[in-house]
Structure 1
Amino acid sequence: MKNEITDSAGIVTAQSADYEYNTLMRLLGVSVSKHLLDEHFTLVWANDFYYELIGWPKEEYEEIFHNRPDLYYEDFQDEWKELTETVMETVAKHQNGYRLVAKMPQKGGGHVWVQICNSFSDEYVNGYQVSYTVMTNIDDLVRVQKEQSVTYSNLPGFVAKFRVDGDGFRFLYANDRFTESFEEFSENGLYKGITNYGSEQNHSAYRQNFPLMRAGKPVHFTLQAKDRSGGDMWLQVNGDCVDWLDGNPVYLIIYIDVTDITEQRELQKQLEERSEMLHNALESAEQANRAKSEFLSRMSHDIRTPMNAIIGMTAIAGTHIDDKERVLNCLEKITLSSKLLLSLINEVLDMARIESGRIALSEEEFSLSDLLQNIITVMQPSIMDKNHRFNIHAYGLRHENVIGDPQRIQQVFLNILSNAVKYTPDDGEILFEIREKPSQIQGCGCYEFSFQDNGYGMKPEFLKKLFTPFERADDADVRSIQGTGLGMAISQNIVRMMNGDIQVESVYGKGSKFTVILYLEVCEEEKLDLKLKETFPVLVVDDDRIACETVCERLDEIGLSSRWVLSGEEAVEEVEKNHRINEDFLAVIIDLTMPGMNGIETTRKIRAVAGPDIPIILISAYDWLDYEEEALAAGANGFVVKPMLKSNLVYTIKKYVLKENVESNARPQIQSERSYKGKRLLLVEDNAFNREIAEEILGQTGFAVETAENGLEAVEQFSAVPEFYYDLVFMDLQMPVMDGLEAARRIRSMDRKDAAAVPIIAMTANAMKKDMEASISAGMNAHLVKPLELELLYQVIEKYMGG
């Protein structure tokens, strides 16, 4: 046989090996055993420590259990199940062994905690694989840990052990009270915070103490947490570094419940805070009452001022009824005072609508060019009255056509500009600039509108209250200037409703700058085709260098070359020089109000040196009506309002250079030029004075006007006349007996051919959006707001009468 010993030397060697092996097993001081992986885990061999560990002598163990561990564990099925499942799982995973901490039964019914380390060998006996097992007695270690656990569990608080890593707290151990309250808030053993409640106070405590804990220093602080029912609790945290693992400190942290004490402190703090809040609220209420009282006092003065003018001028006109010039002068002042009174009332109503959330924004397409021209038209009289120098610049406008609420945007701009005019002494300077900036919002342009003046400016203490309703500066210089103190509050609210921003800079005694930023949906721009084969440059003349540069940039954008000069004298020289070599400019664009030689004089001299063929266009930030006759006589071909946007330039070149018929932006006439003689309208108005005024105005257009005093009377009159008797119906909304909405619905429901066709126009003091929607819903065609604007009235008449 291969292992058979055949000589004495071999016998000695085998005995020596057995001796060394048995000596090694004794010196290890651990249980070593050899088992078969059969159904009994049959014990093949074990050293002495195996029997010492289980408390059974070897002979007795072999006689009773026949070296079968399954019989040994017969009264300890839980422990046997854990052991067999571990072995089977190891075999199933094709692993070479396993490690297990388990209870080992002992003689007498006791047990000892052991760590089992098992290794499967390549040896087989009777067809079964052999495994070797080493069991180490860890009973003392387990008992110490259990004693610590009992100690931790009986401490008056939560106990936890963490390793403090660079990115948070790595959970190591905790008593039952801690795990019941906090374990569900951990992820993979990592606590990003230090309790189960993410309050700002806790985050602050984390930020302050985490660096200390990373350095291994003791910490003491208070945290807020949630108990298992979701209620608030407060914990005093005491932490000490007890070890280091992999360069990271290990902390034993004790959380002591101090909820009762903390709640008392919090209650006291809340009482103090509420007391302070009540005190501040009282001060705010008193300040608001003072502001409203001051507002009412100012409003009383501001309203009485135009009312006094209206009453006084009416009395003067009555005593000079035969003096036409005097009466016309009185009527002009009455009109101006009426508009001022209306603007005061509108501001108060706007503020009330904003505060109640009833203001709504429209969404319509409009042109920035038209918007700017409207603003200039409105502001020009007051600018010229104070002899201000007004400039307007536009930079980088790639999209002129946008979608938004042009009326509300215009209202904001007029509020700011009117303040700039009012609060700048005579002969001041006002600059209005528009920029299109890069936008991060898809489909929208970012527009920045800035308004700068060199007026009185504002003190820092008032600047903080600028957007507060009813607040006005009380400086001696501005005290006499009329206003409600609502314009800027209204403007800020409108801009915010549009998701924009309004900013202000001001230096007292030097002036102010307001900046409005709006995001407006842009429309696709029309492609420009000027159909110019070859051209000479366009000459731009303006004492404002920026205006020259921006106009030339836009000329370049539409494919035209350009040149610019800063005075009339230079312009005449350039035109004369080019004319001598037969290279006349394609056109000359001249600022109207240059110092020294103004635009009209420059035009006159250019005509003298170059003849009548060169198109000359005057531009100005002011309306040109006061200069039109003189400019045309000097040889100007036309006029354009600043800023010259791309669309203005294209319009100008097409009209004055290419001689194309293009649609003009000319202002509608204030008075209707059409006569509607032979037409008949029904005026429905319950107020006698309003009825008389409307009847007179409408009668001037040639209409035969019939009246009704309420909705029911209007319905009866309409049903009593032949079909198509009335060409137009003007209907008040608020009337006794039957209101205008119900009257319109009844007319529309009549069984006659003209009932659905006759235009019905609301003419009412109900000015809110919901009122307009109600009018349209009732079947009306349009909604006019009192007091009547004649321009809008005539536009509506011409629209529905086929004008």
Structure 2
Amino acid sequence: MTEIIRVLLIEDDEDDYFLTADYLSQCENPRFQLSWVTNGEDALAALRKKPFDICLLDYILGPENAMDVLENLKANGISVPVVILTGQSDAQVDEMVMRAGAADYLTKTEIETPRFMRTMRYAMVRSEIENERLERHKVEQQNKAKDKFLAHLGHELRTPLTSILGYTELLLDDEKSQKIQQELSIIHTNGKHLLSLLNDLLDMSRIMANKLELSPRNIHFSAFMTDVHSLMNLAAKDKGLSLTIQSNTLVPEQIFTDPTRLRQVLINLISNAVKFTDSGQIVVTVSMHEGKGLMSPPKLQFDVEDTGIGMLPDKLESIFQPFEQIEDVMRANHGGAGLGLAISRELVHKMGGELTVSSSFGEGSIFTFCIHPGAINEDKLEQLSLTSPQAAVANNPNLHVSGRVLIVDDLREIRRLTGHLVSQCHATVGYAENGVKALEAVLLAEKENHPYHLVLMDIHMPVMNGIDALNALRRHNSNVAVVAITAASRKGLKQSLLDQGFDDVIGKPIDKAELLTVLDKYLIRTYGPTIETNERDSVLHRHLPKDDANQRKKILVVEDDYDASELMQLLLTHQGHDVLVAHTGNEAVQSLKESSFDYVLLDLTLPDTDGYSLAEEIKTFQGDICIVIVSGYEPDKERMSQLGIEEALIKPVSKEMLANLID
């Protein structure tokens, strides 16, 4: 097919016009479609009326010259490439027109030479490249604006969600609210659902901007899958469904992947299975597939099968598209923004696999994906053996004990589940997310003469595992009772952990009866059957609770939203801390001039300053103060590091998050 190039000739000499037109008409490929105007004003009108591929502009046009025309075109946003035609070559003029924005220049005697055609071609190619660059820049700016908008939207939504969820939690815990527990639970559930939709939206934004990164590390696979089972089993039981996690092959003892994102995919698929299954079961099958050399590494496959409503064949691909939902599913009011599966597919792709689905309408669906598990040691393959969570866990324990318990687990949801059971027995609960944090918490509590009486320590954690944390505690002469919590079930493991110095061992998922036995053994029973005298004396001597006054912290909350600041003050006051609120940077500075604080909880967006600048100023008043960022935005980790800030909370902030942080 013959290419057609649209040329606008801006030339006030009729003879030069005929010369140029005659030459262009003789070209067969490409073909030229020539339009002629004699001045800059007509040229601008022609360029506004229809598109041209290139302009040929005479340097002298009566009272105006090429510089005037170029400036006028630029001022009106015309980006077509312009080649200047001159009567004779002049280096000074040539340089001047190029600086003014011309694509190139030619003498009129070169019109019938090969250089003329090359110049035209090069000018158009350069213009296309420049247009593409400008278009990319435009898209980048639009993406930046969108990202900024979504970040702002996230912040604006997270702040009121803090109040909604926080006050609902307080009311749920208040005995005076027993008559409206069902209504409060509905508010709390829907608030958390709104938060999950917001998180999905922000995740999808990061994926589309190619800004979502994985943080892989070694994880104990059986413990990881047991945690997933614990988290999702109650949701299945609430609908009368059974949830089974099984393996038809040996699986690695450890895998190398991002546990947060793998957990997100599995929970999303299991949640969908529960949502769209009214009776029957959900079965998660794990299988290991050996690799075939470097080009085909080993893969770990997950199949999530349900006996739910299923899907029609023509709907199977659309469910992975962002914001897509099947119409009859939407009519059934199952909720969601239609982002979960799109996010899951992208996450699986980043983990080295693909997410697919097979389904039969009315009979159920199977979602399948594989991930690269990292380097696999053939000598460390094991059976995946998980114990189903006990139904009794949901019941209220009858044991009433006194003492302080530190729960150490890298998974927040598991810390929360365990903490809930322990607090039901009326013990005081603290939290740590790894061995290093646990070591710091125990030693600090003992230094302040307010020790922990029991540590429930997960074995497999990042930064410092449970065994190393125990050894570090004993090197520091701490004699706190430490109970290992592990999902591993290999023969001899319990005795091995006892030999390494643990006082006891509890399996995952945590059995209520086992936990009550441990609490009764290492804490003080405050009512109920009396324990043996000699055992009681031993426990009292080792674990006698101290005065709570030493645990009280002085906290400054810097937050411009009055509802959010009042809620945090209320939550922290209920935990026994002294709390002062500042709504601006100036108020915060004035408070620091008048008193010292243990913690500053600092919002990043304030009416008179930004949080980072205020943090830097705060350090000048009290260098050893612990500053914690509390914001609806993802904080800048590099900026935090520069300011010596180690902790950040993303809104909405719950009472558990604050208890976990300030202990």
Q: TM-score, normalised by structure 2?
A: 0.50
**Which structure carries more helix by proportion?**
2
- TM-score, scaled relative to structure 1: 0.41
